[in-house]
Amino acid sequence: MIRKIIPAFLIFNFAFFITRSQAPKSYTSSEILLQIKKLNVLGSVLYVAAHPDDENTRLLAYLANGKLYRTAYLSMTRGDGGQNLIGDELGVDLGLIRTQELLAARRIDGAEQFFSRAFDFGYSKSPDETLKFWGNDKVLGDVVWVIRKFRPDVIITRFPTTGEGGHGHHTASAILAGEAFDAAADPTKFPEQLKQGVTVWQAKRILWNTFNFGGTNTQSPDQFKLECGDYNPILGKSYGEIAAASRSQHKSQGFGVPAQRGSVIEYLKIIKGKAPVDDLMNDVDVTWKRADNAAISNLINKIVEKFDVQHPENSVPALVDLYKKVELLKDGFWKTQKLDAVKDIIQNCSGLFMDATTNTPYAVQGDSIEINLVVNNRSGAKILSADAHINNDYIIFDQLQKNVNSVKDYTFYVGRNKKLTQPYWLEEPMEKGSFNVADQQQIGKGESDPFSVVFSMMIEGKEFKFTKPVRYKHTDPVKGELYQPVNIVPAFSVQTIPKIAINNSFNDWEIKSFKDNNLFRNYVKTRSSGTIVGYNNDTLLRKNQVIRLFDKPSIQQIPVYDSLANQQFYTYYDTLFNENGNPYLGLHQIEYDHIPSIQYTQPEIFTSIDIDLKIAGKTVGYIPGAGDKVPEALQAMGYKVVRLKQSDIVAANLKQFDAIVTGVRAYNTNEWMNDVYDELMKYINDGGLLLVQYNTSNRIGPVVAKISPYPLNISRNRITDEDAKVNFLLPDHPALNYPNKITDMDFEGWIQERSVYHADKVDAEYQKILSMKDPGEKEHDGSLIIANYGKGKFVYTGLVFFRELPAGVPGAYRLFANLIANDRNK
């Protein structure tokens, strides 16, 4: 039996903060001109799908930059349950990465980004299962909220309700969009939202953006068509080129694509509402008449006509006058949208630069931080009386001179109880299929608002306020000047080394404290101490210990002793608390060049597994693929693990390994795997064991024939039910008996799914070990196949060890030990 002792308040009680690497954005005159033209369009389109990467970036780019509509993408999930092509992050971590990839994509194609509270729990084969996990009414309410808040005239879904999109999440997103189309206009549906600053809203129509890919063609000549391949001379790019740059931000999914040029037709099928005839916005007034002030259009046209690309600052007086006219509008919605847009254009035209930076990424509870404030009126526009507002203090700048930095420094004290910077969707414990968000106003937002400063100044006699994030600025000798926000963090953090222990009597807690920009220094400036207390299910695991941290690099290791009795299958989770009963937090960081640095804190959890585990062999060679945490699991099992590069894979070197394991997608990500095929086959032939973890069928290309000694295909078959019954086709096979006797019990407690990308159409030399099925489907027998070759053995498995081993699933460890135990060398 597997026992998991998990204090309830530890589960997903994250504190979180994201850093942005982007420098303050400046706009060219052509981009500013397009922004001014967009002021004359009062139409909105909302695109709806399930995941990061589902959106049609070409259509978004065309609608936002060609038609100049206010355009947004609502992704039901953040992509938490997918697979990772660039690293070993999964689950919530992967969702954080993909959130930033989506936000980066929107900065390129010009659309906005929204999310529901739905959690991507992995591949689903039916919308019914999806909606059950997500909570139909909960996520429907989120879609209704986004519609009422964004107020789209047209809604477009990526997928149909009839299943052609394949994934259950895809179909569910279309079902929810269709239901929300009606519910958003019904005051009896989710009436509590109407007290939160929104009103009912009826979109004019909802359409399905039909497609022709993956062997499925849902397009037809009678559908409404949009030419989305045009060239935009103001931006100097076609919408296909913009779309390619946007879609290529989905790097964790390997979705880099080439730029497309030339005519491209998008097809749309009416689902509800009146079908468009010759324009997507038929029967929708997208002019200023809908705001009861057609005269504003003439003002904007004049600004466009007189716009000087050499001197955009000359347009500032007219833009300020326009701002005053928009302030008089009675239509509160478009008044708010256009006031924000005009204010941004005034800043862009004037070249006004505002910056709030620090020399550290950390604002520490109970400490202070120095903030450097800079304002520069680069174009010499008529700007007076600049000040900055922080923490109820006002910092007054000297009179602004043309293109001269006006600089002020401010010391900000961070209260001991100041709320840690964190993502709104992780503030509350989550459900299995959705996040919980207490603040209705946060729902739908892409990310939490950063720690910010408000700059205020008089421009052409009118006061304007600009909110800017406080950011950590530093210079990298290769990458140049980099910006990242300042994050409010706790004074101390802890880290377990290692994260998982198997049949060990103790583990070490590493206590770290931080200061300035060095991760391993005290945050606090004075001598500090704290009492460490460990509890597990109300059992004291160690005596109270006092640690003292000084104003210097400080790391202390504290042994953690397991006082609980050994059992055959036993998993427990342990944490550290201070004397006030609050858990110390661990600091985790995710770094990739294509997205901002991501850091978050959470109660540090130590996983200990006490199981009847036997291993055969001592040394394993590991060929990394897309990234996984299997090597750490192998080390916890007692193996010496050596990571192998291409140059290491030669016959003489491979003889030292009892087994060689390829990481997930190793044949997808390492083009050189073809070049070492002969060496690997010789290793097997001479008595070695090669275990290949899953590879995807759609990105393997020519290496398929060179994975294995005998022919096999890789299919898209998978088992998504993590509790699916597993049948032993060859119960006497060594894989199920040596060195551990595998039983049904070893398949208990698995998470998310059983297997992916099964072997198919395999040679007769292979033995099929297991079969399983999802509800209502036939049995699949390709999740684990084994063949003898010469004196050795080849194993291919789609079983998701990359998920189960880091999760501490005991049976996964026992089975994996068997698969890399070469019984032919007993």
Tokens of 290: 């809908």
Give the tens place of pLDDT for each residue, 476-487. Answer: 999 899 998 888
Residue 587: is its pLDDT beyond 90? no
Confidence of residue 530 (pLDDT cuts 50, 70, 90): very low
Kindly provide the residue ranges of all beta strands, DSSP E only, lying in 19-126, ordered along the sequence: 44-49, 70-75, 112-115
Give the tens place of pLDDT for each residue, 30-60. Answer: 999 999 999 999 999 999 999 999 999 999 9
Does a cis peptide bond (omega within 30 degrees of 0) precede residue 498? Answer: yes
Strand pairing class (154-157; 205-209): parallel
Residue 726: is its pLDDT beyond 50? yes
- Rounded Cα–Cα distance for residues 168 and 130 (Å): 6
Confidence of residue 763 (pLDDT cuts 50, 70, 90): very high
Between the two ends of the chain, the Cα-to-Cα distance in Å is: 30
- Residue 141's pLDDT is what? 98
Percent of the chain past pLDDT 70, that is, above it, reads 85
Tokens of 280: 């997507």
Strand ordering across the sheet containing 205-209: 112-115, 70-75, 44-49, 154-157, 205-209, 265-273, 224-227
Residue 549: is its pLDDT beyond 60? no
Residue in the block written with tokens 């466009």? 304
* Phi, psi (degrees; rounded to nearest 5) at 124: -125, 140
Instruction: Identify the helix (H) or strand (E) that includes residue 623.
Output: strand 619-623
- Residue 588's pLDDT is what? 77
Whole-angstrom Cα Rg for the chain: 29
User: In the beta sheet, which residues pair with residue 213?
Assistant: 216
444-463 burial: b if 16+ Cβ within 10 Å, else e? bbebbebbbbebebebbeee
Tokens of 780: 């699949």
Kindly report the average pLDDT of the chain as a whole number: 86
Q: List all residues 6 or more positions away from 638 whose beta carbon is below 8 Å from its beta carbon.
A: 502, 615, 618
User: In the beta sheet, which residues pair with residue 179?
Assistant: none
Q: Residues 566-572: what's their mean pLDDT?
A: 37
**Sign of the alpha-carbon dihedral angle for 702, 708, 712, 714:** negative
Q: Residues 405-427: what's their mean pLDDT?
A: 91
How many CB atoms are located within 10 Å of the residue 411 CB? 11
Residue 79: is its pLDDT beyond 90? yes
* Phi, psi (degrees; rounded to nearest 5) at 465: -120, 135
- Residue 786's pLDDT is what? 97
Give the tens place of pLDDT for each residue, 193-235. Answer: 999 999 999 999 999 999 998 788 999 999 999 999 999 999 9
Closest CA to 568 of 608, 609, 612, 607: 612
689 in Cβ contact with 792 (< 8 Å): yes
* Phi, psi (degrees; rounded to nearest 5) at 610: -110, 105
- Rounded Cα–Cα distance for residues 8 and 368 (Å): 34
- Residue 572's pLDDT is what? 40
Residue 372: is its pLDDT beyond 60? yes
Which amino acid, one-letter code, is at 5? I
Q: Residues 270-299: what's their mean pLDDT?
A: 95
Which amino acid, one-letter code, is at 121? F
Which of 350-359, 705-714, 790-799 is predicted with the least confidence, judged by mean pLDDT? Answer: 705-714
Percent of the chain past pLDDT 90, that is, above it, reads 69
Confidence of residue 582 (pLDDT cuts 50, 70, 90): low
Residue 518: is its pLDDT beyond 80? no
How many CB atoms are located within 10 Å of the residue 368 CB? 12
Give the tens place of pLDDT for each residue, 780-811. Answer: 999 999 999 999 999 999 999 999 999 889 99
Cα 539 to its chain centre, rounded Å, is 37
Residue in the block written with tokens 């099928």? 269
In three-state secondary structure terms, 94 is helix
**Sign of the alpha-carbon dihedral angle for 434, 439, 445, 450:** negative
- Residue 197's pLDDT is what? 94
- Residue 493's pLDDT is what? 67
Residue 595: is its pLDDT beyond 80? yes
Strand pairing class (545-549; 528-536): antiparallel
